[in-house]
Amino acid sequence: MWKADRRSGKSVRNPFSNSKLALLRSNPSCLRPILEIVMSEEATGNEYRQQRIENMNQLAATGFPAFGKAFERTARLDELHAGFEEGRQVKACGRIVAIRKMGKMAFTHISDGSAKFQLMVKKDLLGEEKFAAFKLLDLGDIIGVEGELFITKTEENTVRVAEWTLLSKALLPLPEKFHGLTDVETRYRQRALDLISNPEVMEVFKKRTEVMREIRNFLDGRGYCEVETPMLQQIAGGAAAKPFKAHYNALNVDVFMRIAPELYLKRLIVGGMDRVYEMNRNFRNEGLDRTHNPEFTCLEIYQAYGDMRTMQELIQSMFTHLAETIFGKIEFEWMGNTINLQTPWREVPYHDLIRENLGDGWFEKGLDEAKAKAEELEVHIEEGMDFKQVTHEIYDKTIEGSLIQPTFITRLPKELVPLANHCDDDPELVDVFELIIGGKEIAPAYSELNNPIEQRKRFEEQADGNGSKMDEDFLSALEYGMPPTGGMGIGIDRLLMLLTGSDAIRDVILFPQLKPRG
RNA sequence: GGGCCGGUAGCUCAGUCGGUAGAGCAUUUGACUUUUAAUCAAAGGGUCCAGGGUUCGAGCCCCUGCCGGCUCACCA
């Protein structure tokens, strides 16, 4: 009777194979759960899930309940490999990621996210019942085992299993073992599956954790103090970007997810916190592509009595430190280029870079000549752009992307960077750098503007008559006096793309933003 | 937003000229005590992204939509 699936009318397999019948004979009470499932109208799902539920019930009936309790292991699997010692009795656990069953023995690989480890299960060691039950395990199940370490003929570290227990039953099948999960959409939507079946993905995210920890170590070691400033802001300042909007009921005010922590960190500098940094999420209500996610992680650092040069030294030391301590190398492959982080990095003033690429006489040219050159380079120029804007457009579209090795662009025109101090020798230029690596902007740094009158003026220009956007609290903080300050912002996700050789920001963010599935 | 490409079994992918829906892995059954993409034999498994249209007949051709990838543009 259980052969008939009422829903489809199709036949289903007889769940009672010979080996299973052997189990049933020894414990007839296990018939009940099997029948409940097989006969149940609720028994839905695909063939695999159905099969695994049957296996689960048979395991439960023979003394292996499907969802166990905490398991005290001797060590994690990577530690087990590291401290391998033949003959040692150990307890180990993990998810079954490969299984090779034979008549009276089986080999299995378990993985706990740190490493894989081979298990050998033999009938004569376990006894008939426990061995038969072991053969009911499915790929993906999580088990704990106890046994002796030894090395196989093929010289692989292995546990000879004397006891085992089921810790968690996997009801859904894992992706194919050889190709893993490659469907990009499924990988992002079901990151857990991605992590289980693609070890290199796990590796990237472990590196992410290490990098963030090491950044903190590095900065803490230099006396920088990590702080947390508001994510919910009533005025979204510190950058020019569209914010996400929310409403705070208790105060009946609209609030914004922050687009940058800058204005709060500067308040702390005013308050006397000498060296501060914040490494956390920013939110920008903008497009989504290979290098942009609406929430992204940014490291902002401010140092009182410093300037752009302070930041220049800091970022070179920090990046090479990360490269050497975490990755053990100084060269990285990224987006088809080899990038060498060996310091000192090249520094070139903006105007020199332009002349280098567009000719010595570039800044003597007129607007029409510049536009003609833009056209020649297939750079689109908007109506009404002036000479500086045309120049910058050409820079943006053709020069920046060609700077593969780390390059500091300095002495930018003040129009491009409204929140920085001007250069001592030229009020038209600002004392900043933009760090370009692999043709991508990685970090800007400023000698911060600390003149409150000038700051107010620039805010007013930026707000364009919309007074409600002015952060008056910040301006009055500045009026109490902010020391000369060096500041820098580093896009952590992009840094991680570089260090891990990832081409897409989604590959370094665990749960990237996706459209809802229709 | 524009252009191009894609969505077929749990996974990875084929699918010819429009004519019975295919393979490998996985699953099930049988064999198997040193395997490791185990092996050997057999079997089962499909909302061909969705909805329309053309046609005697559509996975395939046409239209619309959804989701994704690449790319260009925009925004910063």
pLDDT over 50 (residue A20): no
Q: How many other CB atoms are there within 10 angstroms of residue A275's CB atom?
A: 21
Q: Is the CB of A356 under 7 A from strand B?
A: no
Q: How many other CB atoms are there within 10 angstroms of residue A173's CB atom?
A: 15
DSSP-assigned states of every residue in A376-393: HTT----TT--HHHHHHH
Q: Does residue A136 contact residue A152 with C-beta atoms inside 8 Å?
A: no
Residues 29-58 in A having a C-beta less than 7 A from any atom of strand B are 46-48, 51, 55
Q: Is the CB of A513 under 7 A from strand B?
A: no
Phi, psi of A499 (to 5 degrees): -70, -30
Q: Looking at residue A45, what is its pLDDT?
A: 47
Q: Looking at residue A27, what is its pLDDT?
A: 44
The nt closest to A179 (CA vs C1′) is: B12
Percent pLDDT > 90 in chain A is 67
Question: Element (H or E) spanning A428, and its range?
Answer: strand A426-437
Band of residue A232 on the pLDDT scale cut at 50, 70, 90: very high
Q: Looking at residue A211, what is its pLDDT?
A: 97
Q: Looking at residue A416, what is its pLDDT?
A: 83
Q: Looking at residue A514, what is its pLDDT?
A: 87
Band of residue A9 on the pLDDT scale cut at 50, 70, 90: very low
SS (H, E, C) A48-87: HHHHHHHHHHHHHHCCCCCECCCCCCCCCHHHHHHCCCCC
Q: Average pLDDT for residues A247-264, to the nearest whole number?
A: 94
Q: Average pLDDT for residues A62-66, to the nearest whole number?
A: 91
Closest protein CA to C1' of nucleotide B31, residue: A103
Q: Is the CB of A24 under 7 A from strand B?
A: no
pLDDT over 50 (residue A509): yes
> Which of residues A5 and A335 earns the better pLDDT score?
A335
Separation in Å: B10 C1' and A63 CA: 28
Q: Average pLDDT for residues A88-95, to the nearest whole number?
A: 97
Q: Does residue A265 contact residue A237 with C-beta atoms inside 8 Å?
A: no
Separation in Å: B57 C1' and A460 CA: 71
Mean pLDDT for chain A?
87
Q: In what order do the strands lie in the sheet with A245-248?
A: A232-233, A253-257, A245-248
Q: Is the CB of A396 under 7 A from strand B?
A: yes
Q: Does residue A21 contact residue A34 with C-beta atoms inside 8 Å?
A: no
**CA separation for the pair A75, A91 (Å, rounded):** 7
pTM: 0.87
pLDDT over 70 (residue A421): yes
Q: Is the CB of A183 under 7 A from strand B?
A: yes
Widest distance between CA atoms in chain A = 97
Percent pLDDT > 70 in chain A is 90
Q: Is the CB of A456 under 7 A from strand B?
A: no
Band of residue A518 on the pLDDT scale cut at 50, 70, 90: low
To 5 degrees, how large is the angle CA A441–CA A442–CA A445? 95
Band of residue A15 on the pLDDT scale cut at 50, 70, 90: very low
Which 8-state DSSP code applies to residue A134? Answer: H
Could you give the residue ranges of the DSSP H alpha helices within A40-190?
Answer: 47-61, 77-82, 123-126, 128-134, 184-189
Residues 217-246 in A having a C-beta less than 7 A from any atom of strand B are 239-242
Separation in Å: B11 C1' and A438 CA: 35
Q: Looking at residue A272, what is its pLDDT?
A: 96
Q: Looking at residue A112, what is its pLDDT?
A: 94
Residues 131-150 in A having a C-beta less than 7 A from any atom of strand B are 138-139
**CA separation for the pair A424, A264 (Å, rounded):** 27
Q: Is the CB of A107 under 7 A from strand B?
A: yes
Residue where the block lists tokens 């480890």: A117
Which 8-state DSSP code applies to residue A175? Answer: P
Q: Is the CB of A506 under 7 A from strand B?
A: yes
A256-315 pLDDT tens trace: 999 999 999 999 999 999 999 999 999 998 888 888 999 999 999 999 999 999 999 999
Strand duo A440-447 + A337-340: pairing: unpaired
> Which of residues A20 and A380 earns the better pLDDT score?
A380
Q: Is the CB of A504 under 7 A from strand B?
A: yes
Q: Please, which positions of strand B sit below 7 A from a protein CB?
A: 10-13, 24-38, 44-45, 66-76
The nt closest to A172 (CA vs C1′) is: B10
Band of residue A463 on the pLDDT scale cut at 50, 70, 90: low
pLDDT over 80 (residue A6): no
The nt closest to A182 (CA vs C1′) is: B12
Which 8-state DSSP code applies to residue A505? Answer: G
A103-116 pLDDT tens trace: 999 999 999 999 99
Question: How many Cα atoms are found within 13 Å in the side-chain-facing hemisphere of A196?
Answer: 23
pLDDT over 70 (residue A29): no
Two tokens, residue A205 = 């995210």
pLDDT over 60 (residue A179): yes
Q: Average pLDDT for residues A127-131, to the nearest whole number?
A: 93
Q: Looking at residue A374, what is its pLDDT?
A: 86
Two tokens, residue A422 = 């001007």
Residue A98: beta bridge partners? Answer: A109
Q: Is the CB of A7 under 7 A from strand B?
A: no
pLDDT over 80 (residue A207): yes
DSSP-assigned states of every residue in A354-367: HHHHH-TTGGGS-H
Q: How many angstroms separate the Cα of A511 from the Cα of each of A149, A192, A332, A503?
A: 38, 10, 25, 16
Q: Is the CB of A439 under 7 A from strand B?
A: no
Separation in Å: B4 C1' and A381 CA: 26
**CA separation for the pair A91, A331 (Å, rounded):** 40
Report for A281-285, A379-383, A485-489: range of highest mean pLDDT? A485-489
Q: Looking at residue A466, what is its pLDDT?
A: 57
Q: Is the CB of A395 under 7 A from strand B?
A: no
Q: Looking at residue A75, what is its pLDDT?
A: 96
Residue A338, helix vs strand vs coil? strand
pLDDT over 80 (residue A484): yes
Q: Does residue A110 contact residue A77 with C-beta atoms inside 8 Å?
A: yes
